[in-house]
Every structure is written in structure tokens, then in C-alpha cells.
Amino acid sequence: MAKKVTRREFVQTTTAAGMALGVATPSLGQAPAIRTGGVRPIVIASNNGHTVKNGGPKTCVETAFELMTKGTDVLEALVAGVNVVELDPADSGVGYGGLPNAEGVVQLDSCCMHGPRKRAGGVACLEGIRTPSKVAHAVMEQTDHHLLVGKDAQRFAAGLGFTVEGDLNTERSRGLWLEWKRRIDPEHYLDPRKRGDAAMGAGLAMVRDGLIDADHFWGTINCDGVNARGEVCGVTTTSGLAWKIPGRVGDSPILGAGLYVDNEVGAAGSTGRGEANLYGLCSFLIVELMRQGRSPKDAGMEALRRVQKNTIEKRLLNARGLPAFGLNFYVVNAKGEHAGVSMYASQFAVCTENGAEIMKTEPLLPGRAND
């Protein structure tokens, strides 16, 4: 008579067999996937990766980690995570309700990279679509290109069935834009230099007055993940600098700047002043430094030191002669080791099998950017 097999014995037997054959077995409940090769599954993101829920039960990093450890492709899991932030009207630095450009139009940028498949996609100056990360992913999946921009990116997305809306402003984002207009242009016109100074000054004054979160003024969420098999992916998405010149593109959709992934090494992404990051292609630099043996923290700090060294224009320096802006990097290597580093003290989000948490970054410089 055959021996009866209990459910526990069946699970143990099939799991062992799956590992012996190199076949992934589905996880039970919400337990993480089995680790292989000493890799610790992890999702790392900017601070808003664990502060926004869009009315749902989970944040970006929680959503991405759960999907990833249940077998979803790492990049698809990360995109689903940042969708939480893109769709939340309360986050005015990303997606729907993001702070608009100088003409009051919300223009969105995003890029994504798939480490194992060595593919990437991005969009810039995209209008009318709430989830630019999904369009960036479609560029990666369905074209031979890495970047589509402006109206043509919108037409591409519309052709794939994405809903195009006439205006992505919310009542709040439009109201903040009108307040900014009142502050910079009370007499209709200024000379170009004074207008430029007034524009930035008015925006920063709104941050000081508590009308805009400092992180939202610069916008952006970066989210990177490594699963138990050591597969590394990343995505960055943003509404860009508040009140930017129409058509301005920052670092977020640019491979090597706002994001870079190498499956053998790891990933790095950024938030903060995009122009400072673009000049040094710092995400690429960080990954290359890790390739040479640097830890995620040390690689990120070296990139920040280079940004500081390259910041020489007086308009970009504070009273202490230091960079008058924030810049953060979120770094993870292929083993799951990670770090959050920043020009000045900040925070970032992490999710592992122990749950999600907000952690302090390692700052390069003391004090605050505007000290």
C-alpha cells in the first residue's frame, strides 16, 4: 500500500527537486523566492518609494518586492511599483499631478533598463499619459530604439492603446503653478537674466514657505531591484524640475545618468538636480566603479565628490561655497548590497524579506543646500 504524502512533505520534495534541476519553484503566500548564490532579494528607491500609496495598501517598494519575489519579471515588478507613485495625485513630483513646466503643461520623462536582457527604453517630454514608465517599457519591448520624445512619443503610446489626456494637472498642481506665476511675473515681463533668477528664486521660496516639498520641486522616483537569481533591473520616472523651460529634459530618461544597470555588476539611479548628474553621467560612473571593486557606498560617494568638484558657477554655490542643490544616488550591486548617498542629508526606501523601511542616506556634505 502506497504511503500517504502530507502537504508539507510534498512541498519540501518538489522544492528540493526544483533546486536540483535549476528550476524556479513558486513561493507560498508572500514568502520571498529561494535565494541562490548568496543573493539577497532587495528593492531600493528614493524616499517617495515608501511614502505614497495612492489609496492602496502598499507603497512602491512593497508592491515591487512582493511581485518580484513571487516570480514576476524584475523590471515589470519595478514598473508596477513606480506606477503607484505616478498615479497618485498627492505626489507632485511624478506622473499625474506632477508640477508643470513654465507654461503650465505637465511633461513627463522616464527610462528603464533590463539587466539580464541587456535592453532599455525611455521617453522624454511626454504629455497626456499618466504612466510614462509603462511607455518607456513599451519602447524597450516593441522598438529597436532607446528613446522617443515629445509628440512622437505620445503618438507611439496612443498607437499601443495608452489613454491620452488633454491635461495631467490636478487642481493642486495648477494652483501651485498659478502661485509661481504670480510671484515671478507681477508686472508681466522682466529682462531674461532677472526673469531666470526670479523663476528659480520664486520656486525655492515656495519650498521655504512649505507650499512645495523640496523633493517634489526636483521631482522623480528611482527604483531598482535584484531578485534571488541575481537579476538586476531599474526604472526612473519624473515630471522633472518644477516650472522648467518647456522641452527641458533632465537626467531621468537618459541612460547612464538618471539610471544605469549592468546585470553582472548592479544598478544606480538618481534624484535631484539633473543637470549636475548629466554632466558626469554619474549612474554609469557608479556602476563602473563597482565593477572595479568599490562598494555601493564608496562608488556613490565618489560620484558625489566629482559633482562637487565640477560645480564652479557662482549661481550654483551657496554662501559656504558648496553646491546649492541636492543630489541623491540609490545604489545596489548584484549581490543585493546597497547604499543611499546624497549631497546633503536625505532619506531613501528599501524593502527586503524583513519588510519596507525608510533609511537615512550617507551625506557627502554637512548642513543643508541653502545654508
Active site residues: 220
Helix (H, G, I), strand (E, B) or coil at 276: helix
What gap in Å lies between CA 260 and CA 42, rounded to an integer?
A: 17
| CB < 8 Å & 24+ apart, contacts of 352-355 | 352/40, 352/41, 352/42, 352/65, 353/31, 353/32, 353/41, 353/69
Q: What count of Cα atoms within 13 Å lies in the side-chain half-sphere of residue 62?
A: 15
Q: Which amino acid makes up residue 295?
A: S
Torsion sign over Cα 29, 33, 35, 41 = negative
> What is the 8-class DSSP label of residue 3?
P
DSSP string, 290-320: HHTT--HHHHHHHHHHHHHHH---GGGB-TT
